[in-house]
Amino acid sequence: MPSALSIVLLTLKISAAAMLIVIPLGMVVAWTLVRKRVHGRFWIEVLISLPLALTPVVIGFALLSVLGRNSTMGRFTHEIFGWDIAFTWVAAALASAVVAFPLSVRAFMVAFAGVDTRAELAARTLGAGPWRVFFTITLPMAYPGLLAGALLGFARALSEFGATIVVAGNIPGETQTLSLAIFNRISTGDDAAAMPLIVVTVVLAAISIAIHNHLLTRAVRLEANRSQREARG
């Protein structure tokens, strides 16, 4: 049986990998929806938010249908590269990314919407290109909200269970995250072994949410200060 430390490290690895997918893709989607006139925006937002309403088991089944060996992608990776995606830690990371994506994107949209577009416009009039404006104006002004959204998604990835167990299984040392390990120990009646993992899960979640709330409060405070300065001006 894997040690508690190895389970925690695997869970952090999977959650971090999930956020490496969520953060760049989520920022692109959020910025596009906030700043561009997107045809069919309503349905795009419905699609993005769908994982929030669906049971994670359905998400896991959908991922298994796409990544399993009998699928087109599954056959391709198995025949060309000799490895499978389903029932690996990569599949667990993808499952965590899917369920965390809507939460992060919503927070990213709020963060980008709070950026003063006049500062961006001023930078453009001074000759700054789109990328320079984004990295020197937009990103610094939005970063508290972006970081808060990333942490919220990370907290959700840490707690993922339903989608993971369907597409990645509950394989000790391979795909068994904290949630799955706790379930496994409780289902076998080993409550004593489950308690340390439960404590670790609560601590990690509490830390993530506490930092998220701090950053969110800071973002609100910065926005209030900016509004006050504009009012005085």
Q: Does the structure show a pLDDT above 70 at 225?
A: no
Reported as a single tens digit per residue, the pLDDT across 56-68 is 999 999 999 998 8
**Using CA atoms, how far apart are residues 173 and 89, in angstroms rounded to an integer?**
9
**Alpha-carbon span 12 to 145, nearest angstrom:** 22
Tokens 């561009």 correspond to 36
Cite the DSSP H helix spans in 36-129. Answer: 41-53, 56-67, 72-76, 89-113, 117-125
DSSP 107: H
The amino acid at 123: A
Whether the per-residue pLDDT at 39 is higher than 90: the answer is: no
What pLDDT is recorded for position 195?
93
DSSP 88: S
pLDDT of 223 reads 65
* Rounded Cα gap, residues 144 and 65, in angstroms: 37
* CB 93, CB 177: distance < 8 Å: no
Q: Which of 58-62, 93-97, 98-102, 128-132 has the lowest mean pLDDT?
A: 128-132
State the DSSP code for 128: -
Neighbours of 11 (CB within 10 A): 26
User: What is the average pLDDT value for the chain, to the nearest integer?
Assistant: 88
Asked if 86 and 67 touch (Cβ cutoff 8 Å), the reply is yes
* Across 165-193, average pLDDT: 92
**What b/e readout covers 136-149, taking b as 16+ CB neighbours within 10 angstroms?**
ebbbebbebbbbbb
One-letter identity of residue 102: P
CB atoms within 10 A of CB 83: 9
| 3-state secondary structure at position 39 | coil
**Residue 117: predicted pLDDT:** 84
Least confident window among 115-119, 187-191, 208-212, 229-233: 229-233
**96/166 Cα distance (integer angstroms):** 12
Q: What is the set of domains in the chain, with CATH numbers?
A: 4-232 (1.10.3720.10)
pTM of the model: 0.87
